[in-house]
Every structure is written in C-alpha cells, then in structure tokens.
Amino acid sequence: MTALSRREQNRLEKRQRALDAALTVFSENGYAAATMDAIAAAAGLTKPTLYQYFDSKEALFQAMMLVPRDTMLTVFDAPADTCHVTQLWRFSWAYAEVVMQPQFLALARLVIGDAQRSPDLGRAYQASGPDRVLDGLARFMADQATLGRLQIDDAELAAEDFWGLILSSPRNTALHVPNALPDRQTLERYVNNGQRVFLRAYSTKPAKDLAVLETLIAQN
C-alpha cells in the first residue's frame, strides 16, 4: 500500500475535522439553524477551506451521514467463505456503536422534529442513513440465501427483522428519553437476544449457527 503524502494526510485530517464538527453543530442546533460559519469555527478551519471540501451545507450533511454508515457496512466486504454469523455479529456492534452515540440520537430527534416543516431534510436523512444501511444489509441477506446459509423469501424484510430485533427497543427509549442511554450490559442483552431470535428464524443450520454465536458472545 502506497503511503499517503503529508499533503494528503493533512487534507484527510481537515476533512475529518469538518465531519466531526458538522455532527456536533447539526446535533446541537438542527439543520436549519446550523451554518457553515459555525461548522468551520468548530472544526478550526476557515470558511473558504471548508468550502474546498464541501460545496454546500447539504453536501456536508450528506457526507456526515454517509461516513459512519459506509463504515459499518464494510463488515460485509469479505470473501464468500467468511462466517456469516461473525459478519452479522460485527455489523450489530458497529451499528449499535454508531446509532447509540448521544450526538446521533440528538440529530435523529431534531430531524424528526423538523420533518413536517422540512420534508426534504427528512428524505435526505433517510436516504443517507437508514436506507443506505438497510440496502447493504438486504444485499448481504440475499447473498447468504443464495449460498444456502439463510432461508429467506424477502431479503428486505429479513434485513428489517434483523435490524429491529437487535436494537429497536433501547434505541426508541433513548430517542424519547435522552437521559436513558443504556449501558453496555443492556445493549448486550438486546443485541445478543436479537441475533439468537434471527438465527432461529432464518438460519438453514440454526443449531450450528447458534453455537458460533454463543462462542462470539463468550469471547467478547
């Protein structure tokens, strides 16, 4: 792998600072009230520099949403013989560690609150975040069905089931009660149980897959 030049490293570092600052500003102020001036200041960048990376607030918002979602989907970029139970385990925790962050929860609340007045914002959030993750998860489900590992009639519904089983309850609580963030033990309870239920329902070899899952749980 070719090492990045110092210039490219600086460019990537500034871009990441902009994305981190954007999450902070959007989650604290909402989309409408957030400004490129405020984001540039929070990132320690000049406004012209910020515009070199993102030509609009809309583009910055979309990039901010895409990065963590794309990161969690990289667990599926593996050879076909990779254990599907392990991939689902890794996805589950990558997903949980992103969406349960206080800033992402705050952002979700603000988007929901603004959706009636700003439907384009709601659509942008949905397309850049949840829909993108669901599409990637559904493709993985379809691939595993083709390989004979999962018994699935509708990959999108299977993805929705998995998603809902692992985290919907604690996340919904945290969305509605900001000071009710679950601890690690609570997250493990839901994530582990959700995966067990999913494998019992969809695995073509549930006993084998559940044994793999229990090993993963014991090791973490």
Cα(212)–Cα(188) distance, rounded to whole angstroms? 16
Least confident of 19-23, 40-44, 202-206, 212-216: 19-23
Q: Which fold has domain 58-219?
A: Tetracycline Repressor; domain 2 (1.10.357)
* pLDDT for 140: 96
Whether the predicted pLDDT of 205 surpasses 70 = yes
- Give the 3-state DSSP-derived string for 168-215, with helices as H, strands as E and coil as C: HHHHHHHHHCCCCCCCHHHHHHHHHHHHHHHHHHHECCHHHHHHHHHH
* pLDDT for 2: 60
Token couple for 53: 């990376």
Mean pLDDT of the chain: 90
pLDDT tens figures, 95-132: 998 889 888 898 888 888 877 787 887 787 787 778 88
Domain residue ranges of the chain, discontinuous segments joined by +: 1-55, 58-219
Q: Coil, helix or strand for 161?
A: helix
Q: Please name which of 137, 64, 66, 149 lies closest in space to residue 103, comparing C-alpha atoms.
A: 64
Name, in order, each residue with C-beta under 8 angstroms of 97's C-beta and a sequence gap of 6 or more: none
Q: Which fold has domain 1-55?
A: Arc Repressor Mutant, subunit A (1.10.10)
Contact 96, 103 (CB under 8 A): no
Half-sphere exposure of 86 (CA within 13 A, CB side): 9
Question: Which amino acid is it at 58?
Answer: E
Cα(67)–Cα(18) distance, rounded to whole angstroms? 12
Cα(64)–Cα(129) distance, rounded to whole angstroms? 10
